[in-house]
Amino acid sequence: RGTQIEKIKKKRGRDRDRETETERQRQRDRDRDRETETETERQRDRETERQKDRETETERQRDRDRDRKTERQRQRDRKTERQRDRDRETERQRDRDRETETDTERQRQRDRGRERQREKLRERHKETERERDRERNRETKRETERETERNRERDRERDRERNRERDRERQGHTDRERDRERERKRDRDGETEAERERQTERQRERQRDTERETERTSK
């Protein structure tokens, strides 16, 4: 009986030992699991940290890229602005050149206008001179016609006088009267011829004056 009890005690002791070992094993398993979880968590944390680092570096790289892009854009903008400045200055220069050309053209137009005005005045003066010449020629022609008419009238008067002379002779005038009449006729004829020569000379002189004036005006 004592032995049986001892066996039972020993068995219970072994059972307790087994239970204790099992509990220890479980504890070790739990500790291992916790350690594993802790390591996993650490790895996860490290991976998270590395991911953050990568994201941070990526963001920095993006920032650098944006900065480079921004700088390139600024350079392009500055270059574009410089080109615009050059274009504006070129356009202003063209405007100044056009304004100068416009002023020059206006001056040329004014000069041409003044020259046309002078030419009109010269032409008007020439036309006035030509009209004067024509008027002088017309007056000379009228005077010639008048002189011709006077000569014709004198010729007709002579004819009438001759007719009267013939009539007087037919009517039987005395020889003395005929002689006196002939003498008067000779005097009148002499005066008429002298007057005709003087009129012809005056007409020639007027014609020469007209020709000289026409020649002077045409020069």
CA 214 – CA 218 distance, rounded (Å): 6
Q: Which of 2-6, 82-86, 178-182 has the lowest mean pLDDT?
A: 178-182
pLDDT in tens, 86-132: 999 999 999 988 888 888 888 899 999 999 999 999 888 888 888 88
Residues contacting 188, CB < 8 A, separation 6+: 161
Q: What are phi and psi of 173, to 5 degrees?
A: -65, 160
Terminal C-alpha separation, the chain: 182
Structural contact between residues 203 and 144, judged by C-beta atoms closer than 8 angstroms: yes
Q: Give the structural domain span for 180.
A: 2-218
CA 36 – CA 43 distance, rounded (Å): 10
pLDDT in tens, 141-190: 888 888 888 888 888 888 888 888 777 666 655 666 666 777 777 766 66
Average pLDDT for 42-71: 91
pTM over 0.75: no
pLDDT in tens, 22-49: 888 888 888 888 888 888 888 888 898 8
Instruction: Identify which has the larger pLDDT, 81 or 150.
Output: 81
CA 60 – CA 66 distance, rounded (Å): 9
Predicted local distance difference test score (pLDDT) of residue 27: 84
Average pLDDT for 51-75: 92
> Is residue 67 over pLDDT 90?
yes
CA 207 – CA 141 distance, rounded (Å): 9
Burial category of 136 from C-beta neighbours within 10 Å (exposed 0-12, middle 13-18, buried 19 and up): middle
> Is residue 219 over pLDDT 60?
no
Other CB atoms within a 10 A radius of the CB of residue 194 amount to 10
Predicted local distance difference test score (pLDDT) of residue 194: 74
Predicted local distance difference test score (pLDDT) of residue 218: 67
**Number of structural domains, the chain?**
1
